[in-house]
Amino acid sequence: MAEVLAVEVTDLVKIYRRSAGGNTARPRYLRAGTPEASGGPATIPRSSRAHGRRQAHPPTETKQGDAPPPGRADRGTQTRGTQTIEGQVLPGGERAAQIRAVDGLSLSVSVGSVTAVLGPNGAGKTTTIEICEGFRAADSGEVRVLGLDPIRDGAALRPRVGVMLQAGGMYPGARAGEMLRLIAAHHANPLDAGVLMERLGLAEVAGVPFRRLSGGQQQRLSLAMAVVGRPELVFLDEPTAGLDVQGRRDTWELIEELRLSGVTVVLTTHAMDEAERLSDQVVIVNRGRVVAAGSPAELTRGGAEGQLRFRAPVGLDVERLLLALPDGTTGREGPSGHYLVQGTVDPQLLAAVTAWCASNGVLAEDLRVEQRTLEDVFVELTGSELAS
Ligand SMILES: Nc1ncnc2c1ncn2[C@@H]1O[C@H](COP(=O)(O)OP(=O)(O)OP(=O)(O)O)[C@@H](O)[C@H]1O
């Protein structure tokens, strides 16, 4: 029997266009903000979160100077950060840059599963999620959410889908408890708002206006608003970013409960432990494309059977070390003074590494055998380190 998919994205492309004079339009949260997406009223966007939480869309890596000057080549392509940026001269001589934020991305999410979307900053995660939420239009590709088109069928999807944005969708002056009850009132069978506030450690700030909540409290409230309507599917964009230990735990427990009750969860995160612990499927995105997808076990099973790690003085000649090891063994230094050797880890490999160190006067400290981790896979595929 065919697997039932909650989200299906095929060959998605999203290009942001930036003219020299201005920014690309932000999503129209007034028309489709978090509460509205959950069946609530229209909402007011905030340009940024308090307490350092970043905007839904930070300034792009593009500078005005990236576009070629008039009279030279019309187009120039370069890669900056994680995105491809194409300079372009518009008719009339205005300079523009195009950023391929999403570049042929495909993924699918089974009903009742938890999917974690990982990727370096600027990889295209939020853009993809916002297209699935119906807040942004794609340039091309196919998106189906619960079998429907997120924009055309937005009205039908709103009561069924919960959304937690990175920013936006809140009335700054409304009290936390009022706001949650308001959203709950727009749903046929909501969770008890008071109980949910209690669960997420918000009971004591129920009477505090949104703008006076701490960053972590604002985030917990956003999560509560995404789930209060008992959605079938929730999109959570970095749900634990900036939360304290208790906040992370509360959020994880809630996500685990959602999964147990059959809710499909799609979340973005930079935290390895979160992805590993919560998700049935991990999707790694880099430069607007999916570079790997599978369960944490499937992703970490591939490649080397194991690895050796040790600490030693910075700048060892890893090439020479590898010449002394069995064929097929790979290795690198990174971060400085930390060495990784990957291959078939057996007593011979261990002996060869220690023999090479001994003959080169190197004291290998903290030498240990490890299994490949999700972070190793991530670094291999994207070349970037995840924040933990
Ligand atoms: N409104 C916009 N206008 C122009 N460029 C944008 C806009 N929104 C996003 N971008 C650019 O598109 C690319 C992908 O951004 P996106 O927010 O989807 O990445 P992300 O993977 O969610 O990153 P992060 O981990 O930092 O949240 C980045 O280069 C970003 O600067």
Is 122 touching ligand 1 by the criterion CB < 6 Å? yes
Report whether pLDDT(159) > 60. Answer: yes
pTM attached to this predicted model: 0.74
Which pair of structure tokens corresponds to residue 110?
Answer: 């089974």
Nearest CA to ligand 1 atom 9: 57
Q: From residue 16, how far is each of 59, 122, 279 by CA, in Å?
A: 12, 12, 30
Is 123 touching ligand 1 by the criterion CB < 6 Å? yes
Question: How far away, in angstroms, is 25 Cα from ligand 1 center?
Answer: 13
Class of domain 5-13+27-61+103-299: alpha beta
pLDDT digits (tens, 9 = 90+) for 91-144: 666 666 789 999 999 999 999 999 999 999 999 999 999 999 999 999 999 999
Q: Mean pLDDT, to the nearest integer, of 80-87?
A: 55
At 377 the pLDDT is 85
At 293 the pLDDT is 95
Is 12 touching ligand 1 by the criterion CB < 6 Å? no
Report whether pLDDT(350) > 80. Answer: yes
Distance CA 141, CA 360 (A): 56
Q: Which long-range contacts (CB under 8 A, 24 or more apart) does 131-137 make?
A: 131/9, 131/12, 131/14, 131/102, 132/7, 132/9, 132/235, 132/266, 133/32, 133/37, 133/161, 133/163, 133/235, 134/32, 134/37, 135/27, 135/28, 135/29, 135/32, 136/14, 136/27
The ranges assigned to domains in the chain are 5-13+27-61+103-299, 304-371
Average pLDDT, the chain: 81
Question: How far away, in angstroms, is 12 Cα from ligand 1 center?
Answer: 15
CATH of 304-371, one of 1.20.120, 2.130.10, 3.30.70, 1.10.3470: 3.30.70
- Same CATH topology for 5-13+27-61+103-299 and 304-371? no
pLDDT digits (tens, 9 = 90+) for 2-60: 668 999 999 999 999 876 555 555 444 433 333 444 444 333 233 333 333 333 333 33
Q: Which atom of ligand 1 is nearest to the CA of 166?
A: 27
Specify whether the CB–CB gap between 157 and 134 falls below 8 A.
yes
Question: How far away, in angstroms, is 99 Cα from ligand 1 center?
Answer: 9
